[in-house]
Amino acid sequence: MENTNLTSVTEFIFLGLSSQPELQLLLFLLFLMIYLLILMGNLLIVLLILRDSRLHTPMYFFLTNLSSIEICFTSCVFPQMLVHFFAQRKSISYSCCVIQVYTSLTFGISECFLLSVMAYDRFVAIREPLRYLISMNWGLCRILAAGSWLGGFIISTVDTVATFQLTFCQDNVINHFFCEMPALMHLSCTDTSQAELVVQVFCIFTLFCPVTFIILSYAHIIVAVLRIRSAQGRRKAFSTCSSHLLVVILFYGNSIFVYMKPQSLSSPEHNKIASMFYVTFTPALNPLIYSFRNKEVQMALRKLLGKPEGA
């Protein structure tokens, strides 16, 4: 009887970000600061929104979900990466690699859906400002947020199963800093065409479709903003959208580069650099570019610190 599971690998070895020993401490301190910035920034956003009743609106409800996803997403990667800066052998067991692929995909895909939901929220807010709270009622908001999380769990399950049905022989060295699907496909010693097809199909649903929806939403938003007679009103509308659009460009740009390219055309080194941006820098910048430049959040922060709002 033919053995259908020829995988002989019990662990994987990461090459990491650098092989130079003199850089390990510097990289550890750098990424420890980035991780702490991500945790503190996003936790503060969640705390401010929960404590201040003025922020209990659909936009900030979705922002709470986004910050929660960023915390979970980076926590799948950073703790182990930080430990590996001081490890001579940067290894991970086969089962832990499966868990890391599944969890990082779950939160990454959930963020893809949530960013498109947030684009729809901005579209409704600008297109129908007087009916905004009626159109984006709390029931609909909860359904959209839950759908984003559920979509992440379902699609990541299929992608993870497709990845780990591949056979991994004796070569277990991954040119990456965490277990990511494209890097594992490069490592497989069998034909990956079927797994790649599954991934490409789901990338259409998780990357191409949300990006298309966001582009269409912003096309309508621009038309609606240009109809606003007040210059101050136009600036305020563009301001609320520009932050979200910058987050979208940073996140989707790097994700599409890593996942939408055929494996035959992708480079592990280039993929590792692109992954670095959406795993580290985008979650760190989100609280800054999306929230702390927002007047309502600044007022909530002053209130939390016990400062007068006009100070």
Q: Does CATH place domain 11-299 in 1.20.1070.10?
A: yes
Q: How confident is the model at residue 3 (pLDDT cuts 50, 70, 90)?
A: very low
Please state the rounded mean pLDDT for residues 11-29.
88
Tell me the Cα Rg of the chain. 21
pLDDT of residue 114: 94
* pLDDT of 39 strictly over 70: yes
Q: pLDDT at residue 239 above 60?
A: yes
Q: What is the pLDDT of residues 147-164, one digit of tens each?
A: 999 999 999 999 999 999
pLDDT, one tens digit per residue, over 164-177 is 988 888 788 988 89
Residue 11 has pLDDT above 60, yes or no: yes
Q: What is the pLDDT of residue 5?
A: 47
Confidence of residue 6 (pLDDT cuts 50, 70, 90): low
Mean pLDDT, the chain, integer: 85
- pLDDT, residue 310, reads 54
Tens-digit pLDDT profile for residues 99-123: 999 999 999 999 999 999 998 998 8
Q: Could you tell me the pTM of the whole model?
A: 0.87
